[in-house]
Structure 1
Amino acid sequence: MKIEFLISTYGKRINDIKLTDLPKKENVSYLIVVQQIDLSSFNNHLLRDDVRILLLSTIGVSKSRNYALKNAKSESEILIFMDDDIKFVDENLDLILDVYKNKEIKFATHQIINEKGNLRKKYINNKEQHNLFTILKYGTVEISVRHDFIKNNNILFNEKFGAGSELSACDEPIFLSDIIKKGGKGCHIRKNLFIHPDESNGLFSSNINSIMSRGAMFKVIYGRWLSIPLIMLFFIKQALKKRREKFKILKYLIKGYFRV
């Protein structure tokens, strides 16, 4: 089974990627998409026969992911998303890929840990099948896909969503929902594939786009009417945590709903 890792990076951050974090293995290759880089700042340290580097002048991580999907090798059977700040847990790759022996599986989610070896979040059970509700919590670097299904169904990330766009989050669940709506089955594998440093998501009040993204995401995934009670349920949960910000949260959830 041929595997290709799709890595998105931006500007000089490509110089932070180390070849030692990209293990050289049979039937494994890497595609790095670099946005907004001055070639004079690139130090050529990633030149290797299993690594390809493509330049992209636009901004927005969804545009980068889509460019990688469109330029993945035709012979690559499984595509796995990566970022420029994660390390590869090499020994678990084959265990994760075993799930694709089942031809019905079109995508899978895996786990990531922090630098202390702790899981970054709570995950569902091993090999539990995904649905339109279980996909909401996964980031791009927790996702792998079957290449031919994505290509044949023209499934791409919604470029209205994701870092660098007006709606700065929720591009991943929308992408996975499109796979499910096209008839693709997915499941979760309780194996760690990447080490990712802990991040702070911040408060809702510091990221208006994050709130708007969720209001818009509910509408895109669940439709005009079902999304409304789901938005209200999300609002209630957040309002209980951040009582002083509840009206701001509701305002921008509604604003997001009407952006799509």
Structure 2
Amino acid sequence: MNNSFAEHDLEIVIATMNQKRLDFLIPMFPFSHFSDFSILVINQTQENKILASDYPSVRVINSFEKGLSRSRNSGIQSAIGKIILIADDDVVFIENFQKIIIKAYNENQNATVICFQTITQKGDSYSNYLKKKKKLNNRKIRKVLSIEVTGKVEDLRKNNCFFNEFFGLGSTFQDSETFFFLRSIRYKRLKVLFQPSVIVKHESFSSSDDACSDRVIYARMAGFYKTYGIVAYLLLLKYMFFLTRKYNLSVFEIKRKFGVGLSGIYDYKLILNKKLDSRYE
């Protein structure tokens, strides 16, 4: 095996907001000091809340833009590591996570992206993961969390692989950004691999789990239209049946949420008709 990558090639890109001190990094690394790792913090903030670093290993970009996907893209564009690990400020890393990631890339050198596993704070699997290493298809990448994603920086930049800034928290459609990111990578015939190894802990609930919220319905229906075209209208009906069974909603509430879904489809169609979304494909 040709060990092309070493631990110092890994850079952790952390999206956060309105931070004024680096103290938020401390609980993320319970087994070591955060300065032992190469970190790039993208701090979306205001001019009166500027974050600075006294550690050579920790770089900070204070951004006055909004949106999680914009933060992720800034990290991809500004990273100096050969491999990036995408992270949020509420995760806790597993000891030796960097060794696990580097080993996976050295064993799978044709992979552009390798996705790993998350456990909850109680130690349970966050999701029903595959049992074996496998190349991921579009159905499987729907369940991938952004905090499980690592990638080769050179491959991503060279192939113009970035997050779709219409999707994600703080964007027009506040969901599905990881799916569309990984889908665009697959469409460019780059390999997206799943590695059944845990690298991070997270609370058992994430922002994408609130299936009944207007925010998620609006975003997911837009995403369905982006993915399936006119079939999205049938998927909207199916989604309403799902919500009725799971949440026991009233007829009035289902009717209202159906309207929210229609709005998501309509608003995305406006973007599509103006060809504003083509640069992410």
Q: Sort the TM-score into its range (normalised by shorter chain).
A: 0.7 to 0.9
Q: 1:34: which partner in 2?
A: 43
Stretch of structure 1 that moved more, 101-110 or 136-145: 101-110
Letter of the 1:259 counterpart: D
TM-score, length-scaled by structure 1:
0.85
Q: 1:3: which partner in 2?
A: 10
Structure 2 unaligned residues grouped into runs of 5+: 269-281
1:107-122 correspondence to structure 2 within 5 Å: 107-122=113-128
Contact map agreement 1:215 1:253 (CA 8 A) in 2: yes
| Identity level (%) | 22
Q: 2:95: which partner in 1?
A: 90
Match of 1:213 among 196, 210, 219: 219
Q: 1:196: which partner in 2?
A: 202
CA RMSD of aligned residues (A): 2.7
Stretch of structure 1 that moved more, 48-57 or 122-131: 122-131
What CA deviation, in whole Å up to 9, does each residue of 1:45-89 have, x standing for no partner? x5212110111011111111111111111xx22111011121211
Number of residue pairs aligned between Structure 1 and Structure 2: 254
TM-score, length-scaled by structure 2:
0.80
| Cα deviation, residue 105, structure 1 | 1.2
Structure 1 unaligned residues grouped into runs of 5+: none
1:13–1:237 distance in 2 versus 1, CA, 3 Å: farther
Letter of the 1:210 counterpart: V
Letter of the 1:184 counterpart: L
1:107–1:226 distance in 2 versus 1, CA, 3 Å: farther
1:4-153 correspondence to structure 2 within 5 Å: 4-12=11-19, 15-19=22-26, 21-22=28-29, 23=32, 29-38=38-47, 42=51, 46-73=53-80, 76-101=81-106, 102-153=108-159
1:35–1:208 distance in 2 versus 1, CA, 3 Å: same
Give yes or no for the alignment of 1:256 onto 2:264.
yes
Q: Which consecutive segments of 4 or more residues in structure 1 shift more than 6 A?
A: 24-27
1:140-179 correspondence to structure 2 within 5 Å: 140-179=146-185
| Cα deviation, residue 97, structure 1 | 3.1
| Cα deviation, residue 190, structure 1 | 1.7
Stretch of structure 1 that moved more, 121-130 or 146-155: 121-130
